Amino acid sequence: MSREYVKDLGTLYLVMSLECNHCAKVSHGLAHQLAVSPDPYPIPELKLASDVGLRQTKRPLTTITVRSRELKTSPSHKPVNMPLVVPDVSDNERASWEAKLLGKKLTDSISNNVSFAMKDLPAVHRVIKPGMAMTMDYKPDRLNVHVDEDGTVTGVVYG
């Protein structure tokens, strides 16, 4: 006995008769055929459809015609962004530097309530001026200090 199963491949639906010729089980036919033999048994029929309602069209496996309205263009899942965990660098540390630097001018040697000495910045830092060319390499322990045209700190990030 053969049953038809719907397979969503992201761009089109394939509906196949999936009876395993190896063990006669219906539920895992295609997967078992692909796992058992590098040259899987032929699949008896292939049908294309834009939804599970299915307009059945028998076609040989090598000549599949698909109309553009039957295609999906969006991915079936969204990528997951995992937070980057870096030892000894935390948001609290960034916030601490932000509190010390925002609104102050960077100077060579003097630190007071309106300026901050560059010698007091961490060993690994980079001062980024508007329009300045910079490398796109990511260093999690590097403090990037963004300044405006007159040298006033406008932002602080690690990276």
DSSP assignments along the chain, one per residue: ---EEEEE-SS-EEEEE---TTT--STTHHHHHHHH-SSPPPPS-EEEESSTT-----B-TT-----GGG---S-SSPPPPPPP--TT--HHHHHHHHHHHTTPEEESS--SSSEEEGGGS-SSEEEE-TT--------TTPEEEEE-TTSBEEEEEE-
Tell me the domain boundaries of the chain. Answer: 4-70, 91-158
- Name which CATH class applies to 91-158: alpha beta
Between 102 and 43, the more confident residue is: 102
pLDDT of 119-150, one tens digit each?
Answer: 999 999 999 999 999 888 888 889 999 999 99
Least confident of 2-6, 31-35, 117-121, 127-131: 31-35
> Model pTM?
0.44
At residue 153, the pLDDT reads 92
